[in-house]
Structure 1
Amino acid sequence: MQQIDNVDVLKVMTSRFRMKLFSLLFRIGPVTVGELARRADADPGQVSYHLRQMQRHGLIEDVPELARDSRERWVRAALSGWALVRDFEAPEARAALQAWISQWVIDQFERLRDFERTHMALPEDWRHASFGSSRHLRLTKEELAQLADQLNAVLKPWRELTRSRVESSEIPDLAERRTEAARLHVIPSRSRRRALRRLRHRLAVALRRLADHLEPARQTVRESCSGDAG
């Protein structure tokens, strides 16, 4: 797992198209530029330009041993995993970080949406093997950190298997290979205490508004009582 803490790298990946290319490379491993362009539905020249920008910042690398002739170029992601440093102080760096994260979230959403649209076209055994799940847990921050460690431990051997296949010098069979994605988001929601504070605040505002609304009626009652006493 490589930490990305270089602002220039973040800026390179604020391009939606580059994020798409990087995501494809990250998932499918070594691939020719022509095949990458086909999967991205883009011109090979355009793809080559963006690959050069990413390669300049160490995000992708060439795999010359897979080339069958001088015209064929194979590339792959240079990172087997990555994590973003989130404690930037400079506004420019924070903006670049937010742009990267936004593109990453968009990429994940689009992949899930595409799967839901096309999954019935998959062979039956692949449809049955895929799954999705959502759970809402009440955990402390320590328990949440422990859960994240346990999930990463479960995924570790599968990541290593994937890395060994990606780094293999054998030319992959693009016609038969399929890509599997494991997406886990272990995130805290707003705390109950904060939610209760917001609820109390809203209740207090509602009560003040109700009191203001009833004030004319109370004033009328007071004046009526004063008249009767006189």
Structure 2
Amino acid sequence: MEDISVITAITHPVRRRIVDRLLLHGATQVGVLARTLDAQVGSISHHLRMLQKAGVVEQVDPPDGDRRASWWQLARRSFTWSSADFDSPADALIAREAQRANVRNQLDRLQRWYRVSAQSEMEGFNTDTLAWATPDELMDLQHRLGAVLDDWRAGIDRTDGQERTPVYFFAHGFPTEV
């Protein structure tokens, strides 16, 4: 179960973009984050401190040894929660709103993809299925998918000289009616 402070931290749109950027590019200098995200260095520093307080990012030594600029990396790579995890009605409400914001983000990304997909050199895909499952079996599916994604990501050799494009994957599993 995620702490509510983590959920609150990563749900903010700018912080979500920071997390995504660090996930793809690794340790990054705060000025580069600001330029990439079209934001002021002070604003990015503020959001990094909020993410650091929640244990999402950590400051790291500059790879070039120049201590005049701060460098940041993710302290963790994945986040999972359910509003049912929280006994406090206020925290459960925050978790539900964070889930909704996450789904909006996912659907926004998907819509952006469909707008430009005809011009892309890389094909996307979609997949879905319908099955019977207990709550434990659905949780097992979540863990298995997470392991597959972790294994897939770890197997990508970014030093092999091939050109790569950021790829976004999302899936949802939930009870439904037929």
Q: 2:51 — aligned with what?
A: 54
User: Which runs of 5 or more structure 1 residues have no equivalent in the other structure?
Assistant: 193-230
Counterpart amino acid of 1:87?
Answer: D
Identity of aligned residues (%): 28
Q: Is the 8 A contact 1:20 1:107 kept in 2?
A: no
Structure 1 segment 181-200 matched on structure 2, within 5 A:
181-190=168-177, 192=178
Query: What CA distance in whole angstroms lies between the structure 2 residues aligned with 1:182 and 1:25?
Result: 16
Give distance in 1, aligned partners of 2:12 and 2:143: 31
Give the CA RMSD over aligned residues. Answer: 3.1
1:45 aligned onto 2:42: yes
**CA–CA distance in structure 1, aligned partners of residues 142 and 8 of structure 2:** 28
Indicate whether 1:157 and 2:151 are aligned.
yes
What's the CA shift for 1:149?
A: 5.2
Q: Distance in 1 between matches of 2:5 and 2:148?
A: 33
Report SS of the residue matched to 2:20: helix
CA 1:63–1:121: 2 relative to 1, 3 Å = farther
TM-score, normalised to structure 2's length?
Answer: 0.76
Paired residue for 1:137? 130
2:62–2:70: 8 Å Cα contact kept in structure 1? Answer: no
Which residue in the other structure is 2:90 paired with? 92
Instruction: Measure how far apart 1:59 and its partner are.
Output: 0.8
SS, match of residue 83 in structure 1 = coil
Cα displacement (A) at 1:143? 6.0
Alignment pair present for 1:104 and 2:91:
no
Determine if contact 1:29/1:76 at 8 Å carries over to the other structure: yes
Ranges of 4+ aligned residues in structure 1 off by more than 6 Å: none
Q: Closer, same or farther in 2 for the Cα pair 1:179/1:47, shift >3 Å?
A: same
Aligned length: 174
What letter matches 2:115 in structure 1?
R
Distance 2:90 2:49 in 1: 24
Give the aligned residue type for 1:140: A
Which has more radius of gyration?
1
Task: Tell me by how many angstroms 1:78 deviates.
Answer: 1.1
Question: 2:80 aligned with 1:77, yes or no?
Answer: no
SS at match of 1:66: coil
In the alignment, is the contact (CA less than 8 A) between 1:67 and 1:74 conserved in 2? Answer: no
Structure 1 position 179 matched with structure 2 position 161: no
1:180 is matched by which residue type in structure 2? V
Structure-2 change in CA distance of 1:153 and 1:16 (3 Å): closer
Please give the secondary structure, in 1, of the residue aligned with 2:80.
Answer: strand
Alpha-carbon displacement from aligned partner over 1:152-185 (angstroms, at most 9, x marks no partner)? 44334213346x97xxxx9xx9xx6632222222
2: CA distance, partners of 1:153 / 1:43:
36
